[in-house]
């Protein structure tokens, strides 16, 4: 284990800061956070708003009675933590570790999760508009999630989930909304996309080999150079997909006789 260091400053008095292995000063220690969580209730949640929690080991903690709005969680370890139902809008989570974490029914809006590790996390029922380029979501549960574009904020530009180059191998996206999501070059090998909607999503170059696309809606999706080898497309909708190269690839997959094309 790498050592931790304590340092003292003069700032209108004597201030004690916790310095983690990354070299920056976090506002609280794990022990202090555990104390806040232990006395927190649903009506009086632990106040962690805008706190600098970078690089801390927060694994296996139960944050359901905490307010983490706007907190800085870069490089923090929240593996196996329980964050179910929280509003995590405007938190900073680049490089965060969320393996096996319970993120069911969370709201994550306007956040960077670039290269975050969310493998095997529970994101079912979540509402996410975030940049997740290069993130690891392998074997995550994203069923019945709403990651579709926020069409109410178009004056600010298209607000959508971005998963360029993300690893979604074996993930469960069934029943979810991913309309207009950016999935260019994403790896969806062996993922479950059944009954999910990807209207106008950018899936160019995505690996959809051995993927379950049964009854999924890929109408108007960008699918150029997508790999469908061994995928199941029974009942899937491809309305508006015009590229001849894409249509030729779909000739060789399972269940094409019941798929819907223009």
DSSP string computed for 5-67:
EEEEEESSSEEEEEE-TTS-EESS-HHHHHHHHHT--SSS-EE-TT-B-TT-B-TT-B-TTEE
Evaluate whether 82 touches 61 at the Cβ level (below 8 Å). yes
Evaluate whether 231 touches 251 at the Cβ level (below 8 Å). no
What integer pLDDT is reported at residue 6 of this predicted model? 36
What integer pLDDT is reported at residue 159 of this predicted model? 85
Residue 17 has pLDDT above 50, yes or no: no
Band the pLDDT of 4: cuts 50, 70, 90.
very low
Rounded Cα distance between 168 and 237, Å, is 21
Q: CB under 8 Å to 122, separation ≥6 — which residues?
A: 84, 101, 102, 103, 104, 140, 141
What integer pLDDT is reported at residue 10 of this predicted model? 30
**184 or 155: which leads in pLDDT:** 184
- Write out pLDDT tens, residues 75-96: 999 999 999 999 999 999 999 9
Q: Which two tokens stand for residue 179?
A: 């309309």
What integer pLDDT is reported at residue 157 of this predicted model? 65
Nearest-5° Cα angle at 218, 233 to 234: 15
Q: CB under 8 Å to 236, separation ≥6 — which residues?
A: 213, 214, 215, 216, 217, 218, 255, 259, 260
- Write out pLDDT tens, residues 102-159: 999 999 998 999 999 999 999 999 999 999 999 999 999 999 999 999 777 655 567 8
Read off the pLDDT of each residue in 29-54 and give the average, rounded to a whole number: 97
Residue 15 has pLDDT above 70, yes or no: no
- Write out pLDDT tens, residues 192-248: 999 999 999 999 999 999 999 999 999 999 999 999 999 999 999 999 998 889 998
């Amino acid at each position: 284990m790498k050592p931790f260091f304590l340092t003292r400053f003069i700032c209108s008095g004597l201030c004690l800061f916790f310095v983690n292995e990354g070299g920056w000063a976090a506002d609280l220690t794990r022990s202090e956070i555990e104390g806040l969580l232990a006395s927190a209730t649903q009506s009086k949640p632990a106040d962690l708003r805008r706190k600098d929690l970078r690089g801390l080991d927060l694994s296996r903690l139960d944050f359901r009675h905490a307010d983490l709005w706007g907190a800085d969680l870069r490089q923090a370890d929240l593996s196996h933590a329980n964050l179910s139902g929280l509003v995590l809008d405007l938190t900073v989570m680049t490089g965060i570790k969320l393996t096996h974490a319970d993120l069911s029914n969370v709201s994550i809006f306007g956040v960077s999760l670039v290269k975050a590790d969310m493998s095997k996390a529970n994101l079912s029922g979540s509402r996410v508009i975030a940049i997740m380029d290069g993130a690891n979501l392998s074997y995550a549960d994203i069923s019945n999630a709403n990651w579709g574009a926020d069409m109410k904020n178009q004056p600010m530009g298209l607000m959508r989930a971005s998963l360029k180059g993300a690893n979604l191998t074996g993930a469960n996206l069934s029943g979810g909304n991913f309309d207009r999501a950016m999935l260019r070059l994403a790896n969806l090998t062996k993922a479950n996309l059944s009954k999910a909607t990807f209207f106008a999503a950018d899936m160019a170059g995505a690996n959809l080999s051995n993927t379950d696309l049964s009854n999924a809606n890929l109408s108007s999706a960008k699918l150029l150079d997508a790999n469908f080898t061994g995928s199941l497309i029974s009942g899937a909708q491809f309305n508006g997909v015009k590229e001849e190269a894409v249509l030729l690839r779909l000739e060789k997959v399972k269940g094409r006789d019941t798929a819907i094309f223009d």
